[in-house]
Amino acid sequence: MDFINLENTWVRIGISAGILLLFLALRKVFTTYVFKMILSFMQKRKVETAANILIAFEKPVRLLFVIIGLQLALKFFPYDLIADNRETQIFRTLFVLLITWGLFNLSSTITIIFPRLMNKLDIDVDRIVIPFITKIAKLIIVVLGITIIAEEWNYNINGFIAGLGLGGLAFALAAKETVSNFFGGVVIVTEKPFTIGDWIKTPSVEGTVEDITFRSTKIRTFAQALVTVPNSTLANEPIINWSKMGKRQIAFHLGVTYTTPKLKLEKLVRRIEQMLIDHKDIHNDTILVKFDRFNDSSLDIYLYFFTTVTTFAEYLNIKEDVNFRIMDLLEEEGVEVAFPTRTLIVQQDGMAVDEQQDLLKKERLHSHS
């Protein structure tokens, strides 16, 4: 009789091990063949939403084979390793974790799915909103998963919430800065003073916006340093968004010598003005080229105009091109740029009796934007 029981025990252990090995083999087959085949089919048919869902749940499904195999194997195992009610709780918890894991992965595809959905509905949504929505979705999924698992283990969620209410004042004081940053992020998202990729300048930092989270905004400076600024700070600072410029200003004085004849000066002014009008990268709405003043050692022509591009590198290229064209016009008209000079009167005995400084300050081809 004992021999028969022992034989049955080993048979059940063998069946249990066989079931577990079978599901491990099925997991391998699914990973190597079935999953890749389904994914390839969806990508060829351009069913991108379904493909994203499949990719998000790939790893949870792999683990699901192991969990199902383990659950079935325990049913045939001759010994009770875990109490039935506790076993049920453990496996339900594992299933909830797998679903939460898959949904958490899927929430990352909101950055792809959400803009397409908004385009179909003809709704204009700023890019900066999408990462914010993704993070909120992930937070909700995690909180729901924890809540379901807590209820499965008979944890009193209502008591926990009530406890938060009792300690609300202490929590609010401790989390004051965090809450302030969160609402600062909400202000940035709703008012949209900038979006991801914009070049902004604040009293704290200047650079390109890379990301916005619940707590802070990440800005890449032109020195390639990554600066993390709390949202509460950004929300309360003046923000200059250079990317929103429709055009960019160039203004400077061009000083020529006093020996320049009036007719040549007039012609030079007209030619510079026409050159700017004809330039494809200069905004034609406002072009001012005027003989502005008699300076200490030069006749100053004032130039004021705007480029049609706003990015710094292209702006500098256009500015350089205009300067070279002005040099060509000066050469063609035979007009010289003024430079600092001094006149020295010397007596016959070689002693200086008068030294007149003609130039008090230098204003040569300087510009500002």
- List all residues 6 or more positions away from 171 whose beta carbon is below 8 Å from its beta carbon: 164
Do residues 221 and 259 both lie within one domain? no
Do residues 98 and 229 both lie within one domain? no
Residue 299 within any structural domain of the chain: yes
Residue 363 within any structural domain of the chain: no
How high is the pLDDT of residue 277? 94
Residue 338 within any structural domain of the chain: no
Residue 361 within any structural domain of the chain: no
Residue located via tokens 């256009």: 318
Residue 353 within any structural domain of the chain: no
How high is the pLDDT of residue 212? 80
> Burial, 282: exposed, middle or buried (Cβ in 10 Å; 0-12, 13-18, 19+)?
buried
Q: What's the distance, CA 11 to chain centroid?
A: 61
The helix (H) or strand (E) run that includes residue 211 is: strand 206-212
Q: What angle do CA 265, 268, 269 make, to 5 degrees?
A: 85
Q: Residue 282 forms beta bridges with which residues?
A: 307
Residue 360 within any structural domain of the chain: no
**Cβ contact 310:266 at 8 Å:** no
Between CA 214 and CA 210 the distance in angstroms is: 14
**Cβ contact 356:342 at 8 Å:** yes
Do residues 22 and 167 both lie within one domain? yes
Do residues 80 and 166 both lie within one domain? yes
Amino acid at 184: G
How high is the pLDDT of residue 289? 95
Q: Within 10 A of 167 (CB to CB), how many other CB atoms are there?
A: 11
How high is the pLDDT of residue 356? 42
Strand-strand pairing, 282-294 and 352-357: unpaired
How high is the pLDDT of residue 313? 84
Total-model pTM:
0.47
Between CA 303 and CA 289 the distance in angstroms is: 5
Between CA 220 and CA 228 the distance in angstroms is: 9
Do residues 25 and 163 both lie within one domain? yes
Do residues 275 and 227 both lie within one domain? no
Do residues 162 and 77 both lie within one domain? yes
> Which is nearest to 226 in space by CA: 239, 211, 241?
211
> For the packed helices 312-333 and 262-278, what is the interaxial angle rounded to 10 degrees?
150
Which backbone phi and psi does 165 adopt, to 5 degrees? -65, -40
Residue 328 within any structural domain of the chain: yes
Do residues 39 and 151 both lie within one domain? yes
pLDDT tens, position by position, for the chain (369 residues)? 444 555 577 777 788 888 888 888 888 888 777 777 877 777 777 666 677 777 778 888 888 888 888 888 877 776 666 666 777 788 888 888 888 988 888 877 766 666 666 566 555 555 666 666 777 788 888 888 888 888 888 777 665 555 555 455 454 555 566 667 767 777 777 777 888 888 888 988 889 988 887 778 899 998 889 999 988 888 888 888 887 878 889 999 999 999 999 999 999 999 999 999 999 999 988 899 999 999 888 999 999 999 988 877 888 999 999 999 999 999 999 999 988 766 666 555 444 444 444 444 444 444 444
Q: How many domains does the chain have?
A: 3
Domain that holds residue 39: 5-177
Which SS3 state, helix, strand or coil, does residue 86 take? helix
Between CA 185 and CA 191 the distance in angstroms is: 10
Helix and strand tally (H, E) in the chain?
13, 11
Q: Within 10 A of 305 (CB to CB), how many other CB atoms are there?
A: 21
> For the packed helices 129-152 and 84-107, what is the interaxial angle rounded to 10 degrees?
180
> Which is nearest to 77 in space by CA: 69, 85, 88?
69
Do residues 143 and 76 both lie within one domain? yes
> Which is nearest to 32 in space by CA: 12, 58, 50, 13?
58
Do residues 13 and 120 both lie within one domain? yes
The helix (H) or strand (E) run that includes residue 90 is: helix 84-107
Q: What's the distance, CA 65 to chain centroid?
A: 39
Which SS3 state, helix, strand or coil, does residue 349 take? coil
How high is the pLDDT of residue 276? 95
Residue 343 within any structural domain of the chain: no
Do residues 49 and 110 both lie within one domain? yes
How high is the pLDDT of residue 270? 95
Of 142, 177, 212, which one is at a domain's C-terminal end? 177
Do residues 132 and 264 both lie within one domain? no
How high is the pLDDT of residue 367? 45
* CATH number for the domain harbouring residue 314: 3.30.70.100
The helix (H) or strand (E) run that includes residue 39 is: helix 35-44
